[in-house]
Chain A
């Protein structure tokens, strides 16, 4: 069994990166480190992200800004390379766009779209509205109200 180059888990991905003519580098990584590797390598090579060029205070502020829906902070994303919820793509759009550009060479989707898009979009905003209501009902300890909203959410999700 081969160990991951970065930690001590079992290496499951063997990535060969081409550096130039007849020159390549092998990486043996576990699933998680490989994920990080794939995500970070284009960033490391191209221009640094805007956050790293700012002074420390601004960086700190940026890193602690959080998504109002799931509470994810940019610093959490930098650590785990996972976003917290679908809203994060908008909340952190400014920071994500250069990353997406580096990863994919594009920042705009091209391809399949959900068939029931208009209906789905409407439903999505309705669901978001109900979830906000639910949250405030819970905060106000209005449990009957909360239960009613939860039923509505379930019904909508179940179509």
Chain B
């Protein structure tokens, strides 16, 4: 299975379009499901895992979908290819680093992915560009119905959909919204966001799960509760919190433009300049600079550079994409030099 063709493009969810796309990068919903008649993945024997995989692979590839899914055996992939799928958010780190028979099915848009033999035997995922919780829910709900007609899910009258970990039992639903909040970061109002999250148990994490708070101002907000609250309730609570955060970020952006426009212009222009001319570039620095450039485009402070290109670069400057794009294994300084070279080439025409 050759995945190299993937590197030159990105999934549709990174197009930078969709509702509220000046702040919301993407919306993702996943459902955890298991089969009624097998132990959970970590407790299944190697033979049972192989049986589960072949059963699910067969059912998944026979689903009647407008965008057909192709199945990739993750066990058969080279480590670099597994990492590539992690960077594209098609599989989790846990699946990439796991063992035994396991795989993923995804469509050409990379909008749908189904992991097999992750912590749960089935992890369905739908990705959308921008804020699109309702749309993503309809798509995954339908996908779940189609699969459920072909397999027998582990289900319990009281506990709902049964999962390997009690943190996911019930709906098995985790909805996440990836936000770009540079102005909140610059104006140090992050505790406002945290306070709005407090009431409904949301988790904040960095983009790609790498780097810390400081790296690029990307945050993922997702629900924690899966038992006792319906899918629609959870999604509307999340929508409510996200709307609040959006207004904080918009107010902060407006305040910066009103009071510190020159400073901001300098910041975003310098960021673009560094990306276009530097000869060494770490992953964290790239994230921070791209974050500033993204803000600059959204505020009309930078022309000549498209949001698409910037969004693409977030993924393509990740280690395994970079390695695929420039060829050959890279580490340390070599990688930072290659990253800078790649950024220079991609951003050259826009100077």
Contact = CB atoms under 8 A, between A and B. Distances in A.
B224 A100 contact: no
Contacts of B166: 39, 81, 83, 96, 99-100, 103
Interface in A108-159: 108-117, 120-121, 123-124, 127-128, 131, 153, 157-159
Contacts of A90: 156
Contacts of A82: 40, 42-43, 119, 164-165
Contact of A103 (B155, B197, B213, B227): B227
A110 B230 contact: yes
Nearest to B162: A86
Given A109-B160, A116-B149, A120-B152, A86 B171 contact: no
B231 A157 contact: no
A24 B212 contact: no
Contacts of B39: 69-70, 84-85
Contacts of A96: 166
Given A82-B119, A100-B166, A124-B152, A112 B228 contact: no
A106 B201 CA distance: 14
B165 A83 contact: yes
Given A109-B160, A110-B230, A12 B210 contact: yes
Given A89-B156, A110-B229, A116-B148, A100 B213 contact: no
A111 B206 contact: no
Interface residues of B, number: 63
B191 A111 contact: no
A117 B153 CA distance: 10
B36 A111 contact: no
Interface stretch (A13-21, A44-52, A57-65): A13-21
Interface string B190-201: 010011011000
Contact of A14 (B160, B212, B226): B212
B153 A18 contact: no
A80 interface: yes
B40 A84 contact: yes
A7 interface: no
A157 B154 CA distance: 12
B169 interface: yes
A114 B156 contact: no
Nearest to B97: A31
B228 A131 contact: no
B151 interface: yes
A39 B167 CA distance: 7
A120 B233 CA distance: 26
Interface in A4-61: 12-16, 18, 22, 24, 26, 28, 31, 35, 38-39
B29 to A, nearest CB: 12
Interface of A: 1-2, 12-16, 18, 22, 24, 26, 28, 31, 35, 38-39, 69-70, 72, 80-86, 89-90, 96, 99-100, 103-117, 120-121, 123-124, 127-128, 131, 153, 157-159
Given A89-B159, A104-B228, 11 more contacts: A70-B39, A80-B42, A81-B165, A84-B40, A100-B227, A110-B229, A111-B231, A112-B171, A116-B148, A121-B155, A153-B37
